[in-house]
Structure 1
């Protein structure tokens, strides 16, 4: 039997039992669809982390208060102040910019509309350190920060929570923050959610104004420090440690009462965790594909039994064992490849539906598509060999006698 004839016979056998062939492919369809969807979710999460890293800046360090110790005993949460930030920018070597940050939730009023929102007191350098872009208006200056001016810069989505208006329409108008009137001078471009916080739903005011007119605290929540480059990150961390130890009067060898965190390292850890979960989910989904392969092997064994007389007749007419084996391998391979194609379409549709309906970020990598076809073909060959070998081993006389 020539190859084209073998192929035609195999396809004819599949078409002759449409319902059985469809049910046989169902396991492969579900398996491939699950793998594609899970990998798309993982790929989307990884790309989201990479995009967030670019928006944060890879050379940004964050200093936060740590545990304060005295006589070997913890005395509670230590404090960071604006004076610590001033000390960091007095004579910098590896530090490019510094901005302390104080955050709290305050009632915001815009006419008859009001909402409890996040207020962030910062220095003007905060916007460049964290890679914020201006959409409308302007940012406040150092002089306005020192003068405790009552001015505010809005996140891109603040207006939607204050009467359902655009944030740009509030520029030049007066809103009330904790009962205190503030003039809106600018609006930032949309940046996107960052874990548990969303900068697009925050208002930014001068740090001194936040400390003494709104929140009544001279402490800061954290200090953002921008190194001169990614290559000087370690040197900048050493410089920060030396300056703050001197500022807090810590003796050599004494535990620091502050923490220095590298945002790039943190996001890298999140990315590795996401990749691990992606592989775990894809592995679980691949189990259903293997179950589908077992189902194909089972059906092919049944098919060999049902077509024993046909196999004997073909051998009696001159078909070689390799021809019979190739015929059943092609049937198994076609079932898996067609099932893989349908599963791919279902997986693409599922990932798109998750993105549109659930708001999850998904991304289908070309490598996952190729891998799905290769894997489904491998399943077809692997689980088709045994039925094919069994069909090829039948003798013509025994096959023709089979009832």
Structure 2
């Protein structure tokens, strides 16, 4: 009964100063709304990037030369100036296809300028084999991909990514046309479908037979990386162990190559986006503390304004804990109502970002509950000192206060 009376008195006091109460809640509203919106954007981005990477295949292994931590400043996939992975290692792994290994695809790459008539663009030339399209789940939208005959004959054919095709040909049909890069003219036989891999635009590259790339572009038998698909996600560890055994036997040491799996890549991306999301949420959460200081300030003003009221209540028999609880209820109500409005605002902002900005957002229930709970705790924490000050007022001095 006493609790309800204190709550009614607290609400009456807040409603008697509506504008002041709204302005006091503003810091909490902005803080909670920002945290909810930032976390929803961060988690949406994480889900989007993860799904894009997963669309390339969830059972992939990547083999590169050297250890990722082989030397300070050394790039991944390199050990000194020598690439140890060649077509010989690729052939060995290809022969191991069976129970655990499904497909094996080599890749080489180089950056160069590609020309068609007066149009030019700088892009990546990727040399690979016919199995690349299926392994990467990346197919031509028009025309065809590289086939085994192209690889055997070292044909000067090219498959354009959609971005490169747009840069060079616009809306014109590129099939059968010749583009020039390196010292050769390459006949366009296909254009790939649009595809993203995390932040990477898969369409910003050109595919050629790996034998052609090695002979005419890189002049080396070395391979940038070998991509391997396991027969299933459950066979990933067994496939990785088999690959490691084959390459260790061939190269003489496990330090001469690195094997990463797709889940490692996904975990790295998730860890990065989670860190950025928490950083943004932490920065925006500072406004919650600012809002808490505002609540403390306004409650101290309220104690001063109601000194005589407190004195009268004490003279009529109110105890210290009654006064303490009343002012705590007022500060907690300010922060809780502000937190609730902030949650609604944050969900609304994330929805607008999704609709207007075409970003993927995901409202997190734990984030909503934590933000609201934290806003309530802010009200309790910053309202405690003014409440104690009100409860400790001497009733005689309070009644004399003008």
TM-score w.r.t. the length of structure 2 is 0.82
Q: How much has 1:121 moved relative to structure 2?
A: 0.9
Local SS of the residue matching 2:363: coil
* Partner of residue 310, structure 2: 311
d(CA) in 1 for partners of 2:311 and 2:36? 42
Cross-structure match for 1:145 = 151
Q: Is the 8 A contact 2:354 2:361 kept in 1?
A: yes
**Matching residue of 2:101:** 95
Gaps of at least 5 residues in structure 2 are 71-78
The alignment yields a C-alpha RMSD, in angstroms, of 3.4
Q: SS of the counterpart of 1:78?
A: coil
Counterparts of 1:91 and 1:313, CA distance in 2: 90
Q: 1:8 and 1:173 mapped to 2: Cα distance?
A: 80
Q: Distance in 1 between matches of 2:380 and 2:49?
A: 38
Gap change, CA 1:164 and 1:240, over 3 Å in 2? same
CA contact (8 A) 2:45 2:273 kept: yes
2:182 alignment counterpart = 178
Which aligned pairs between 1:193-342 and structure 2 lie closer than 5 A? Answer: 193-195=197-199, 197-248=200-251, 250=252, 254=253, 256-314=255-313, 324-342=323-341
| Contact in 2 for aligned 1:66/1:77 (Cα 8 Å) | no
Point out where structure 1 has 5 or more consecutive residues left out of the alignment.
none
Does the 8 Å CA contact 1:324/1:391 hold for their aligned counterparts?
A: yes
**Is residue 159–residue 207 contact of structure 2 (8 Å, CA) maintained in 1?**
yes
Residue 76 of structure 2 corresponds to which residue in structure 1? none
Cα separation, partners in 2 of 1:358 and 1:178, compared to 1, 3 Å: farther
Give the equivalent residue in structure 2 for 1:130.
136
How many residues in Structure 1 have an aligned counterpart in Structure 2?
A: 391
Output the CA distance in 2 between the equivalents of 1:185 and 1:157: 16
Assess, with a 3 A threshold, how the Cα gap between structure 1 residues 327 and 256 changes in structure 2: closer, same or farther.
Answer: closer
- Give the structure-1-normalised TM-score: 0.82
Partners of 1:78 and 1:257 within 8 A in 2: no
Per mean C-alpha deviation after superposition, the further-off stretch among 284-293 and 320-329 is: 320-329
Q: How far, CA to CA, are the matches of 1:365 and 1:92 in structure 2?
A: 43
- Distance in 1 (CA, whole Å) between partners of 2:330 and 2:120 is 67
Q: 1:370 to 1:128 in 2, by over 3 A?
A: same
Partner of 1:367: 366
